[in-house]
Amino acid sequence: MKKMIKTILIILGILLLVVVGYVLYVFLSFHRIEDNQVLAVEESAEQDAVSQEQALTVLSYNIGFGAYSDDYTFFMDGGKESRAFSEEAVYENIGGAMETVTGYNPDLVLLQEVDINGTRSYHVDEREIVVPALESIASYQYVFAQNYDSPYLMYPITRPHGANQAGIMTFSKYQITDALRRSLPIETGFSKVLDLDRCYSKSRIPVQDGKELVVYNMHLSAYTANAETADTQMSMVVQDMQEEYDAGNYCIAGGDFNRDLLGNSPEIFHTATLDDNWAKPVNLELFTDDITLAAPFDETAPVASCRNPDKPYEPGDFVVTVDGFIHSANVEVDDCKVIDTGYQYSDHNPVICTVRLH
């Protein structure tokens, strides 16, 4: 009996050492990517400068690292999967998403959740799918900002989410003179391991009147213990835009806010609600008289921008609009809407708007 107890204690001790060692590995390997990082501008643009008279189309799309077909569920949202169904599924979903994007021939494209080396996406460098797709319709310059470089997540145990490197990409038919990666404030507790690093990119495009169009691409935090984290991140973006506007420049930001931009999406779209709704209403007090929100919505054909991947998608499930735009007072936003893909290629629908500088 004593020998059996001793053996059990040894096994438990080894398991404890493994757990402690893994927790230490996760926290010691976690790091933040350099702030104020200058980003490389790739390829060539179709045109040099933006004209004030010209209408520009801006499209933003969280492509969900190529995993989220409409029947995909994700473990962090109450579903089952931790990786894409297969490598082939990654290619199919990214390819389908880009076919949607190219069909609108946008002047500016803002993409989020573009994996470059991830366990969850079978180490497919998704830039190699995205870039040729856009270059097939026009000459774009682009910048890539790495959002995070996560340690290996050993959960779920039977099929770990693994280690993942992902980022955001900005494409422009107009010359990008320079671009910068800005690190967003994040939480300092254990939840930082789940929510990972966060950033936004900032790209400068010349305007014919001698000023600049400053384009922001952002993906704000989702899995936070502190509700104020997203507000702090949003405040940083708004303050940056305010400074650029005060300097005489034009500003447009787009991306995934991970906040309900309409304030009451389930009521608007007449869908189910969540007992623990992660998509809190956006804090409108964060915006200013000069820097305002443009939430995509079409009354004639109301469509939400995001579904909750706790189950395969069916009409009537919980949906919410978390993707949209922010603009300065000298940028007029028209026809801001969600493109209805039926969540076929991502848990997000793309959003698109037309803007004019004035």
Mean of pLDDT over the chain = 92
pLDDT for residue 192 is more than 70: no
Are residues 245 and 266 in contact, defined by beta-carbon separation less than 8 angstroms? no
Tell me: do 156 and 20 sit in the same domain: no
Tell me: do 235 and 95 sit in the same domain: yes
Tell me: do 2 and 129 sit in the same domain: no
Six-digit token pair at 92? 């199919």
Which neighbouring-strand residues pair with 162?
A: 153
Burial 111-125 (b: 16+ CB within 10 A, else e): bbbbbbebbbbbbbe
pLDDT digits (tens, 9 = 90+) for 256-277: 999 999 999 999 999 888 877 7
Are residues 144 and 167 in contact, defined by beta-carbon separation less than 8 angstroms? yes
High-pLDDT (> 70) share of the chain, % = 94
Rounded Cα–Cα distance for residues 234 and 228 (Å): 10
Tell me: do 237 and 248 sit in the same domain: yes
What is the structure's pLDDT at 193?
56
Tell me: do 3 and 57 sit in the same domain: no
What is the structure's pLDDT at 195?
58
Tell me: do 86 and 14 sit in the same domain: no
pLDDT digits (tens, 9 = 90+) for 310-336: 999 999 999 999 999 999 999 999 999
What is the structure's pLDDT at 30?
65
Mean pLDDT of 209-213: 97
Mean pLDDT of 207-232: 89
Tell me: do 206 and 270 sit in the same domain: yes
What is the structure's pLDDT at 27?
62
> What is the domain range of residue 86?
33-357
pLDDT for residue 4 is more than 60: yes
Tell me: do 89 and 220 sit in the same domain: yes
pLDDT for residue 169 is more than 60: yes
Residue with the larger pLDDT of the pair 15 and 196:
15
Which neighbouring-strand residues pair with 289?
A: none
Tell me: do 26 and 125 sit in the same domain: no
pLDDT for residue 114 is more than 90: yes
pLDDT for residue 158 is more than 80: yes
Tell me: do 80 and 15 sit in the same domain: no
Tell me: do 97 and 4 sit in the same domain: no
What is the structure's pLDDT at 302?
94
How many structural domains compose the chain?
A: 2
Query: Which residues lie closer than 8 Å to 261 by C-beta, 6 or more apart?
Result: 282, 293, 295, 296, 321, 322, 323, 324
Half-sphere exposure in the Cβ direction for 211 (13 Å, CA) = 17
CATH assignment at residue 275: 3.60.10.10
What is the structure's pLDDT at 106?
98
What is the structure's pLDDT at 34?
87
Tell me: do 47 and 91 sit in the same domain: yes
